[in-house]
Amino acid sequence: MITRRYVIRRIIYMAITFFVAITLVFLLPRLAPGNPVLIILLTKYGGIVKPQQLKILESELHISGTLWQQYISFWISLLHGNFGPSFYYYPQSVSSLIITHIPWTFFLLGTSTIISIVLGVAVGSYSGWKRGYSDSFLQSFSIGLTAVPYFWLALIFQLVFAVLVVIDGTHILPVAGAYGYFVTPGFNYQFVISLLKHSILPLATLVITSFPGFALLMRNTIVTVLDEDYVLQAKAKGLSLNTIRKSYVNKNAILPVATSVGLAFAGIVGGAFIVEEVFSYPGIGYLLYNAVTVYDYPLEEGIFLIIVIVTILANFAVDLLYAYLDPRVVLK
């Protein structure tokens, strides 16, 4: 049940998590042994940074003044949505870079999470209801898939679709980028088709490696719930199989899956980032990869903060959904 008290509590947790994450990002570079931001800057960019760049950096990176002053000015610019300038893409700001790239990540993350949950729940409940031969097959299959690392699967797809299966010099499926070189972004047919085609392999990688977790969880809870006394009573009541399935089994079995979505999401984020790297998919994971290779620290920091915010909000949404699904939640 969603009550005001519950929502307020979740918001407080959310704020705490957010606060901790931000403080972490602030402190890390400053606490790292002998490695304050400036030293990183000078060693990594010693000869490259232009003097006027360095000056802007100093003020915008909050590396002057006492730790407290730095911390406060850090928060102030954060609250203004200002993550400072990027080193590498200077003078572009971190915020503008993130804004141009993040829709792609949202697309990948959102679509793959939803498909994974739907597929996982479907396969898992089939398996749990069926039992017997097809159940053990699906179980072994899912366990096998959970062991496959997504970056490796992404590389396999690359190898297969970029070089091994090329018919008459054309690729069956695109292996890089988010849309074709010759289409113009917008609401036109070519663009949408190109977009979908480009997303197939990245999405496949993410879905194949994340849905088995949901499937296994769903299967096990179905099996547990089927053993519950209230399901026996539902059968004794002479309810139709359909009603039992919908109102008694699935409604209860979905709960652990719903709780796991929040945690799983944090994992899928990692997957999406690496998949973007492999498929040169222009989201913030790809941006982060580039930032790492060129030591663009402000950009890394900005991306980290954004993705933390997104994850925290996603978890908040999941918590609300869970409270909606499980009337007992207020008591916990």
Partner 1 sequence: MTNVGIDKERMEAVTSSRPTKRFKDFMSKLWKHRKGKAGLIILFGLVIFALIGHFAAPYNPLANNAAAFQPPSHAHLLGTDYIGQDILSWFMVGTGTSLVVGFTIAILSALIGVTVGVIAGYFGGKIDDVLMRAVDVLLVIPGFPLLVILQTFLPPTLETTVLILSILGWPFLARVIRSQTLTLKERQYVLASKLSGLSGMQIIFRDIIPMLIPIITINAIFIAVGGVVAQAGLAFFGLGDLRSVNWGTELYYFFNQDGIAYKAWWWLLPPGIGIIILGLGANFLSNGIFETTKPQKGG
Partner 2 sequence: MMSFPLLEVKDISVEYGVDGKTIKAVNHVNLEINKGDVVAIVGESGSGKSTLAMTFLNLIEKPGRIRNGKVNYRGAKGVVDVLRMRPVDLMRYRWKEVSMIFQSAMNSLNPVMRIEGQLRDVMIEHGTDESLVDAKIDEKLKLAGLTTSIKKSYPHELSGGMKQRVNIALALACDPKLLIADEATTALDVVVQRQILTRLLKLKQDLSLSLVFITHDISLVANIAEIINVMYAGKIVERAFAKQLFENPLHPYTEALLQSIPTLEKGTAIKGIKGTPPDLSKEIKGCPFADRCPKMFDRCLAEPPELKNVGDNHYVSCHLY
How many CA atoms within 13 Å lie on the side-chain side of 84? Answer: 27
Contacts of 267 (CB under 8 A, 6+ apart): 210
- The answer to whether the peptide bond before residue 202 is cis (omega within 30 degrees of 0) is no
Pairwise CA distance, residues 310 & 303, whole Å: 10
The whole-angstrom separation of Cα 329 and Cα 2 is 8
282-311: contacts with partner 1 (CB under 8 A): 288-289, 292-293, 295, 297, 300-301, 303-304, 307-308, 311
Q: What are phi and psi of 93, to 5 degrees?
A: -85, 155
User: Site mask, partner 2, residues 92-121, x = CB under 8 A?
Assistant: ------------------------------
Is 3 an interacting residue with respect to partner 2 (CB under 8 A)? no
Q: Does 136 bind partner 2 (CB under 8 A)?
A: no
Determine if 146 is a binding residue for partner 1 (CB under 8 A): yes
Helix (H) or strand (E) segment spanning residue 166: strand 166-167
Longest dimension (CA), the chain: 81
Whose Cβ is closer to partner 2: residue 225's or residue 278's? 225
Residue 153: closest CA among 163, 145, 141, 162 = 145
Told to check if 328 binds partner 2 by CB under 8 A, we report yes
Instruction: Return the one option of partner 2, partner 1, none that residue 312 interacts with (CB less than 5 to 8 A, by type).
Output: partner 1
Is residue 32 close enough to count as binding partner 1 by CB under 8 A? Answer: yes
Taking residues 196 to 215 in sequence order and writing x for each that binds partner 1 by CB under 8 A, - otherwise, the string is --------------------
Q: Please report, to the nearest 10 degrees, the dihedral formed by the alpha carbons of residues 265, 145, 208, 212 taken in order.
A: -50
Closer residue to partner 1 (CB): 20 or 118? 20
Where do contacts with partner 1 occur on this chain (CB under 8 A)? Answer: 13, 16-17, 20-21, 24-25, 28-29, 32, 35, 40, 143-144, 146-149, 151-153, 155-156, 158-159, 162-164, 262-263, 265-267, 269-271, 273-274, 277-278, 288-289, 292-293, 295, 297, 300-301, 303-304, 307-308, 311-312, 315
